[in-house]
Amino acid sequence: MSFWDNETAAPSDDGGSGRERAGGLVAGLVVLGLVVLLGAGWVTAYYAAGDNVPRGATVEGVAVGGRSPDDAVRDLEQGLAQRETAPVRLEVGDRGVEVDPVEAGLSVDHEASVAAVGGGRSWDPRRLWDYYTGGDEVGAVVDVDEEALDAALATAAEEVGRPAEDGAVALTPSGPEVTDAVDGTTLEPGPTREALLAAYLDPDPVAEVALGTVEPDIDAGDVRSAVEDFADPAFSGPVRLRFDGTPVVFTPAELAPALSLEPDGGALVPRVDADVLGGLVDARVTADGGEPVDASFEVVDGEPRVVPAQPGVDYDTADVSEALLTALVAGQGERTADVPASVDQPDLTTREARRLGVEEVVSDFSTYYPDADYRNVNLGRAAELVDGTLLEPGETFSLNGTVGERTVANGFTEGYVISDGILVEDLGGGVSQMATTLFNAMFFAGLEDVEHKPHSFYIDRYPVGREATVSWGSIDLRFRNDTDHGVLIEAAVSPSSGATQGEVNVTMYSTKTWDVESRTSDRYAYTSPTTRVLDTPDCYAYTGSQGFTVDVYRDFSRPGSSEVERTERFTTVYTPSDGVECVPPGSPAAD
């Protein structure tokens, strides 16, 4: 084969392949050109779009498309300015409440909202496509202060809702009183929050919301349990607390002020007011280890009544409360609880006092005196000390022992007394009138006369032969209760004033043993007075009177009988009341 054959043969063999390479090159150049053209257009589109917001974009209906982010933010702020602060009305049926969005912690993040709608540079072809072909409507980005929003919703709930009302059981002296539980209503936090946020920035910011039910902490079941488990048993009858074996009984009405049913952990729990309970116990016993107090008597509407004794008791209030709660829920016949305590019993118990038979008036006597301030003071103080004296069978009353020494410290003042047959000033003047009144009350009560001394001369405001005087340390009035019953002495003074006389009254209460009648003889054995001339500073001039002797008889009969069983005679010798003439000190005419 020649060279030329070889030369011509080679082209002929691969001529098709060469054309293909030439075509591929052209195609590649075309594609490359298109790519270059597209790239140039993409770059051109990117730079043309810049960071502007896509054309036609809106935020909450405010047009921000085609503007730079800064301009878009400014336009959005202006467009939403009024809506951002407009109150949102939450409507519940025909009621409603407005929520201030600022106070609720709601605000618009304008920059984030513009960014969300497509503002800002991006090579993303989708962003470029969106910029040139349209833009979206988006909601604003809202910042929420959750704490402020919760507070605002709570306030709104209070205005349109109703708080739940706990059931209750009041323990009153007349028994348990039930207050029924009532469901409340409130705004549901989650749905209300969503509705509020949805209405925020709306041109007509109104949201319809619903109320949910709020159950009370103490519901009907809790009330029923409290009544059945505690209140009804507590008021089913009295309870007895034993202090070291000494019983003290309380009725439900007495205990009611110390008891309550208080909410605790969703239930009504019994509580005891320790101070009130302590007062109730103290009224029955002498607390804190104090001395016991004997039973006594008081007169109410003319009738004597026993004031219960108080044993001296040392106890702990907490122990009393615990024992009381145990006894209150016990069944009938078991409503007794022991309280750790130490007890000191009184000398006169309540039972013993009731057995004394102090039931009725057995004597009542009054004397009268002319106006004098010192008598008002001294007789009033003596009556205060005598009043309430109780004589048990066999006991002897002593006026000096009861009234004590007549001193300023003991409440007495100076007045006129009889000394050595004449009137002089001394502390306690006038107290002898109390002695006379007591003597007559004792006389008609039929008690035993132990010691009495009439005045040395007769004083006409007293019953003749039935009167007595006293002097501290020398002369006393004493009488003994020789009956089988106790004797209560009540003494009172109605003070004198100007032309009005004063009155001293003594009433004795017991069970009547005797009917007593008094008889008085004629006066006899008269003696004549003299006139004494005195120059002492305390001289008190007056006219004398005759002395005489008189007999008084006391006849004893059984109640309802006219038969006299025995008679006592009291003979009184009155000395003449010498007249007194007062002269200047040092006068020769003086005694």
CATH fold for the domain made of 221-354 = Ubiquitin-like (UB roll) (3.10.20)
Give the model's confidence band at 557: pLDDT under 50 very low, under 70 low, under 90 confident, else very high: very high
Threshold 0.95, pTM exceeds: no
Residue pLDDT, tens place only, 457-473: 898 999 999 999 999 98
Which pLDDT value is given to residue 3? 35
| Long-range Cβ contact pairs of 495-502 (< 8 A, separation 24 or more) | 495/376, 495/380, 496/369, 496/370, 496/371, 496/372, 496/375, 496/376, 497/371, 498/371, 499/371, 500/371, 501/368, 501/369, 501/370, 501/371, 502/368, 502/369, 502/370, 502/371, 502/372, 502/375, 502/376, 502/379
* Phi–psi pair at 74, nearest 5 degrees: -65, -45
Burial of 385 (0-12, 13-18, 19+ CB in 10 A): middle
Express as a percent the part of the chain with pLDDT over 90.
Answer: 58
pLDDT digit string, tens, across residues 276-312: 998 888 887 766 557 888 999 999 999 999 999 888 8
CA distance 3 to 127: 66
Paired tokens of 48: 């043309």
Give the list of residues 6+ apart from residue 528 with CB closer than 8 angstroms, or none. 546, 547, 576
Of 387, 470, 404, 481, the C-alpha closest to 442 is 481
Cross-strand partners of 369 = 502
pLDDT at 1 over 90: no
Q: Are strands 239-243 and 336-339 parallel, antiparallel or unpaired?
A: parallel
Q: What is the DSSP letter of 165?
A: B
Q: Higher confidence at residue 224 or residue 44?
A: 224
Q: What is the pLDDT of residue 417?
A: 56
Tokens of 267: 């239930």
* Alpha helices by DSSP H, 117-188: 125-133, 146-160
Cα torsion 135, 138, 141, 146 to 10°: value is -170
Output Rg (C-alpha) for the chain, integer angstroms.
56
CB 491, CB 478: distance < 8 Å: no
15: buried, middle or exposed (CB in 10 Å: 19+, 13-18, 0-12)? exposed
Contact at 8 Å (CB) between 552 and 465?
A: yes
